[in-house]
Every structure is written in structure tokens, then in C-alpha cells.
Structure 1
Amino acid sequence: MKSDCTPKEALQKLEHFCAYQERCHDEVVSKLYSLKMTSDEIDSIVVQLITDNFLNETRFACSFAQGKHRIKQWGKIRIVNELKARHITSTNINLALAGISAEEYIETFEKLTQKCWDGIHENNQLKKRKKFCDYILRRGYESNMVYEKVKELEAEAK
């Protein structure tokens, strides 16, 4: 299998790829495979990217967690699952979650749940409750928080 470019050209492409936005090792390796690099070339390029600080798994995990929480309003469960899918170590996952303050997490949860509850136009209370819980759980929030909140919102509605 002939490589699309030389290892030096691949390194330059990957430096740009990593400088554009934080990347995890899996994304970088996939990109290198798409450039038809050999396993040895991939290993040496990844080592070089880490040495030059273009590739940093801890930095990736932290920016990923904060971005997904602030922009997409994901809960911790969803963030953890997405990071695990990218083969991020549990140490880095814990560091990333520590970057989200408890106050910010609760505030985001409150805003999201209120907006969701107000947005569901369902006369059947059971169906409304199910739609609400499914949506918030899919966003990755802890079930005990979701069920406490739904009780609170139902009590306010009465």
C-alpha cells in the first residue's frame, strides 16, 4: 500500500489538524491511516506530536468535557461515555469532570430542565413525564437528579 504523502508531510498535516482543535489519539491515528501511513510511521508521528505538545490527551479531555457541557448542555454520564468511546483514560476523564464546577453543573441542569418542561405540550401527565425524563436522561444527567426534578416540576404545576 503506497502512502499518499511522506512522513514529513503527514507530520505537517497532523500538526495543522491538531492546532485547529484539540484531538484525541484515536482521531489522529484514524487520520494517519486515511493518509495510508504504515504502523511504524504512525507511531513515530504520534510520538512527535506529543513531544511538540500538539497532542495532549488530558487537554483534549478537559476541553471536550467543558465544551460539551457548556455548549450542548450534556450531563456527566454522557460526557464520560463519549470520552470512554474515544479510549480516554479514567484519570483524564476524572480530571475533565473536575473542570466542571458543581454550581455550573446544577445551573445548567436547572435551565435545561425548565426549558424542556415548558417546551413539552402534552396533556397526558404520564406522557409528559416520560418525554421529559427520556430527554434529560439522554443528555446524560444522573437519574436521581432527573426524577427529583420531575417530582418538583409536577408539584409546581398542580
Structure 2
Amino acid sequence: MSSWGKYKPNESGKNSWSQEEAFEKLTTFCAYQERCPWEIRRKLYDKGITDEPAEQLIAELIEEEFVNEERYARSFARGKFRLKKWGRNRIRMELKMREVSEELIRKGLSEIDPEDYYDTLLTQTEKKWETTTESDAYKKKFKVTQFLMNKGFEMDLIKEAIEDLSNDQSQ
């Protein structure tokens, strides 16, 4: 229960779902976009459904192929990389928070093409470098590095990208 954060079950009984209604609503919820059991548990918790009834619903959704954690991990990694330009570290951390197994996280990250990954890192580095208003080169490098680390890129690749950018600008 500690991984639920601020979520409290619906104590008033208002807007709570019956087991049948919950399954129907969850199939729509899962059909809209890929979901993991953690997200479904959170949704059920909001509606006052916990413990065994929640686990039964999740098992049924998995059996009916509405929920597939590997599919979720792959989709999540692709989407966050392409749309939000997140690095592998950030994606890994977010998937861990959603209680996805290490093996499935690895499979998800394998969806990211290494060349696309580095090209994206270079593009993000250039954009941030151009928009950072800092006259001191050392401080500017630090700010750009911090930004890229927050996005989840690896330190060794960040250093390489900044060097590539510096070499391009000095030529």
C-alpha cells in the first residue's frame, strides 16, 4: 500500500463501482492506451476496490489480453523517448516506479534504436546550449549537463555529446 502515495480509497461510497461495472470501465481504460497493473490498482483504489477483488479484476484483464506488461513496457519506452525525449535512465526509473520487472524494463528499453538515441541526445544538447544564457562556458556546460541528466541521459553520453558540439562549433 505504501507505493500508492497520496491516493485514498473513495470512503463516501459515491462513484464506487460494482465488480461488473469495474471490469467494463477498465476494459475501456485499457483499450484507450497500454496500462500496467500498477495503474489499474491505483484506479481501482480511487473507486474503493482493493485487495482480492482488485487482484481478481487485474487477473481477468490480463487473461483477456487487455493488460500485457511486456507490451506496456515496450510502448512506454518508445513513447516517452519519441514524444518527451526522455533518456534511458528516466524511462527505467519511471517503469520501476510502476513496479515493472527488470527483465521487462530491459525489453522495453531495447525498443530504442541506439543511433536515434544519440541523435536525439545531440539535438537536445544543441537546443539547450543555444537557449542557455550563461557567459561562463564552465557554468553553461554544467547547466546543459544538469538538464540532460534530468531528462535521463547517461553521463558518459552527455559528455560525448557536449564534446561533439564543442568540436563542431570550433571548426
- TM-score, length basis structure 1: 0.93
Query: Residues 15-72 of structure 1: CA distance to partner in whole angstroms, max 9, x if unpaired?
Result: 1111111111111011111111242211111111001111111111111100000011
Match of 2:43 among 19, 27, 31: 31
* CA distance in 1: counterparts of 2:161 and 2:126, whole angstroms: 9
- Which residue pairs with 2:123 in the alignment? 111
The question of 1:90 aligning with 2:102 is answered yes
Task: Indicate the larger mover: 145-154 or 6-15.
Answer: 145-154
Q: Match for 1:26: what amino acid?
A: W
Runs of 4+ with deviation above 6 angstroms: none
- 1:89 maps to a residue whose letter is S
2:136 to 118, 124, 131: 124
Q: What residue in structure 2 maps to residue 136 of structure 1?
A: 148
Query: Which digits, 9 at most, give the CA deviation of each residue in 1:108-133, with x for residues without a partner?
Result: 11211111112212111111111110
Identity value in percent? 35
Unaligned runs of 5+ in 1: none
Alignment CA distance shift 1:42-1:100 (3 Å) = same
Q: How many angstroms apart in 1 are the aligned matches of 2:20 and 2:106?
A: 35
- The structure-2 alpha-carbon separation of the partners of 1:75 and 1:19, relative to structure 1 and needing over 3 Å to count, comes to same
Moved more, 100-109 or 131-140: 100-109
Aligned residues between the structures: 158
Supply the distance in 1 between the matched residues of 2:165 and 2:26 (Cα, whole angstroms). 49
2:63 alignment partner, one of 51, 69, 74? 51
**Distance in 1 between residues matched to 2:75 and 2:33, nearest whole Å:** 10
